[in-house]
Every structure is written in structure tokens, then in C-alpha cells.
């Protein structure tokens, strides 16, 4: 399985043609709930604006694909991996709907035998705005997700929890039955699931990264969660975008370094030049040029990299970066 970013509606990219599609996520200027489109799940999320380019993230495979719909979940599987997407429409309080969407996804993964959830994306409208009861939408979301994980026998994987530009919550997941993932923490950050109560009644359920082993015995793939300028559990470098970018990059470097992988029982290691499928979330439009310039310096020229001008999960975070090392 491989992730590709296609910059326009064009289907002509050579590395997509003729391959199976497990899922498409269109980062677009409006949203659409997931459906089956050309035999594969397609979710359209409202996350591109006037100053950032829409693109489609495509999960491709060389194995035969079987797609399906179950309740509000849309999915496709290839025997090794499954992609699954669901949308939660706008409502006053999200936690019950989030718990139920996660539980339905978990039930599907269990029934089809993809018991190793390794990556999830949570795209939350008005993420730092308040719900109908005055609780921040992100905290409300975290309550529902945590309740679902309390009952899930598996481990908590890598994730992104980020703002989107329309109300409601879009979720998509990747799980596997090939190989055992290892979920990684960052030596410089408090595990998010242990954040103190000041950040919300239920801590965010995610790991800093998830490692999937390779079939050929090489280091394998590290799915890096959305990473920001947080040290311990504190946001660092308030109102300083350049310093927040550097702290974010330092966090990613520490996370995927040989030393940290070894701590988690994984041989090998990566640096920023090994990242691909990179998404860079920037809160304030006026910071885009600086962030683009810095990312162009540190990430490989050949990497797929997309910029999105959206809110981050804490009001004081100006930037967040995710990617895949391998
Ligand atoms: C930036 C942070 O968290 C964000 C929120 C996440 C979530 O709730 O799933 C996952 C990673 C980040 O997108 C952080 O706490 O460091």
C-alpha cells in the first residue's frame, strides 16, 4: 500500500494508473460525505481555501480490492490493509456520535480481521470553537473517542486531530492484518493519552507515531502523527511561527531517530529527508510563506507535500506537521 497526492482532479498520474485504490480523500473547497466512487471509497473534506491548493490523497495497492458500505461507513480492503471513512454531521454535542462512529469502525475492522489499527485522521469543524454546552469541540470529540477506545482491545495508534473549514467531523482510518505495528512515543513529549486534565476531561487517544514492519526485513514504515510545538505537555514558543516550526521539526526528528526507534524495539531509523506524504497545517494565512520556505529546505524535493490553512487543536498552536517515513 502506498500514499500519493494528486494535485488536481487529474487521474493521469503514472503511478496511480492501473493500480487498485483503497481510498481517496479529496482535500477540497467544500465537503461531501464518503461514498463509493469508481469502485473505491471517496471522502471530500473542506480543508482547502483560497490560498492553498486542493489535492487528493490516494491510497493505492497492487493487490485486488474489495469495497463496501456498512451503515455510514465506506471501506475498501485488499487482504493486507483496509481503508474506512465516515462523516459525522453537525450537531450540538459530538461525543455520543463520535463514540458510535468509532465503535462501528472497530466492529467492521474486527469482523473483517483487520485488528491492527495503525493510523487515523480526525478532521473537526470549528475545532477550537464551543459546542452547544460550552465545551470546546475538540475536547467534546476527545471524550467520545476515549470512550470508544476504553472498550477496544487493541492499542491506540498514530493520529491527526485537526481543524476543517465546515461544521461536522470527518474520520478516516487505516488498519492491517499483515504484521504487528509498534506505537511510538516521543522522549520529549508527554504521551497525549496522559495529558493532564487542564486540556480536557478525557486525554486525546493517540500515539506519536506507528511503525509497520516491512515484508523484506528492512526498517519498515513510520506513520508520524500530527506533530506540533509541544514539549512535555506545554505549547512552546507562543506567537513565534519560526520557532514553532523548528520545535515541530525537532519533535519529528527525535521521534523517528534511530535512538528512539531502538527504544521501541525497531532497528534502523529515519531523518526529515526520509519523510513523504507530508501535510503541513498552518493556522494563520500570513504565516504560509515562512512555513513553505522552511519546509522546502528540510524536506526532500521529491516528497509529496501539501499545505492547509486550518485551525490546530489548541488555540496557541500555529503549525502542525505529519508525514510518513520509509
Ligand atoms: C498536536 C497535537 O495533537 C493533535 C491531535 C491529535 C488527535 O487528537 O488525534 C493527533 C495529533 C495532532 O493532530 C498534540 O497534542 O501534540
pLDDT tens, residue by residue, 37-59: 999 999 999 999 999 999 999 99
Question: Has 285 been annotated as catalytic?
Answer: no
Residue 208 Cα to ligand 1 middle (Å):
8
Atom 6 of ligand 1 has which residue's CA nearest to it?
Answer: 161
Residue 17 Cα to ligand 1 middle (Å):
34
Whether the ipTM is more than 0.95: the answer is: yes
Q: Is the pTM of this model over 0.90?
A: yes
Task: Report the pLDDT value the prediction gives residue 134, as an integer from 0 to 100.
Answer: 98
Tell which residue, 234, 247, 306, has the closest CA to residue 275. 306
pLDDT in tens, 6-34: 987 555 677 788 899 999 999 999 999 99
pLDDT in tens, 203-251: 999 999 999 999 887 889 999 999 999 999 999 999 999 999 999 999 9
Assess whether the C-beta atom of 225 lies below 6 angstroms from ligand 1.
Answer: yes
Half-sphere exposure of 27 toward its Cβ, with a 13 Å CA cutoff?
29
Assess whether the C-beta atom of 160 lies below 6 angstroms from ligand 1.
Answer: yes
Name the DSSP class of 298: H
List, in order of start, the domains of the chain with CATH numbers. 2-325 (3.30.1330.40)
Asked whether 42 and 23 are in contact (CB, 8 A), the reply is yes
User: Are β-strands 32-37 and 40-46 bridged in parallel, bridged antiparallel, or unpaired?
Assistant: antiparallel
Catalytic residue among 57, 116, 136, 320: 320
Amino acid at each position: 500500500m502506498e500514499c500519493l497526492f494528486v494535485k488536481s482532479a487529474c487521474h493521469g498520474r503514472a503511478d496511480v494508473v492501473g493500480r487498485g485504490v483503497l481510498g481517496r480523500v479529496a482535500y477540497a473547497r467544500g465537503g461531501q460525505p464518503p461514498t463509493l466512487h469508481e469502485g473505491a471509497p471517496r471522502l471530500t473534506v473542506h480543508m482547502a481555501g483560497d490560498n492553498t491548493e486542493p489535492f487528493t490523497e490516494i491510497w493505492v495497492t497492487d493487490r485486488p480490492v474489495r469495497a463496501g458500505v456498512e451503515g455510514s461507513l465506506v471501506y475498501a480492503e485488499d487482504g493486507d490493509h483496509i481503508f474506512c471513512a465516515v462523516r459525522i454531521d453537525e450537531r450540538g454535542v459530538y461525543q455520543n456520535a463520535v463514540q458510535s462512529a468509532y465503535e462501528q469502525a472497530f466492529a467492521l475492522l474486527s469482523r473483517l480481521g483487520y485488528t491492527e489499527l495503525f493510523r487515523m485522521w480526525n478532521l473537526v469543524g470549528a475545532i477550537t470553537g464551543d459546542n452547544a454546552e460550552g465545551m470546546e469541540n475538540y475536547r467534546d470529540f476527545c471524550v467520545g473517542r476515549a470512550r470508544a477506545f476504553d472498550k477496544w482491545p487493541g492499542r491506540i495508534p498514530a493520529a491527526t486531530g485537526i481543524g476543517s473549514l465546515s461544521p461536522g467531523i470527518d474520520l478516516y482510518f487505516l488498519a492491517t492484518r499483515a504484521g504487528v505495528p509498534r506505537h511510538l512515543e516521543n522522549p520529549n513529549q508527554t504521551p497525549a493519552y496522559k495529558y493532564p486534565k487542564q486540556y480536557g476531561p478525557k486525554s486525546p487517544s493517540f500515539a506519536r507515531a506507528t511503525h509497520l514492519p516491512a515484508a523484506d526485513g528492512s526498517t519498515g514504515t513510520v506513520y508520524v502523527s500530527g506533530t506540533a510545538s509541544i514539549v512535555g505537555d506545554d505549547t512552546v514558543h507562543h506567537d513565534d511561527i519560526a520557532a514553532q516550526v523548528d520545535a515541530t521539526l525537532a519533535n519529528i526528528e527525535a521521534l523517528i531517530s534511530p535512538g528512539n526507534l531502538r527504544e521501541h524495539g525497531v532497528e534502523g531509523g529515519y531523518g526529515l529527508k526520509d519523510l513523504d506524504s507530508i501535510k503541513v497545517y498552518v493556522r494563520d494565512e500570513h504565516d504560509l510563506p515562512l512555513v513553505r520556505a522552511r519546509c522546502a529546505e528540510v524536506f526532500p524535493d521529491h516528497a509529496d507535500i501539501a499545505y492547509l490553512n486550518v485551525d490546530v487543536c489548541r488555540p496557541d498552536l500555529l503549525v502542525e506537521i505529519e508525514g510518513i517515513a520509509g
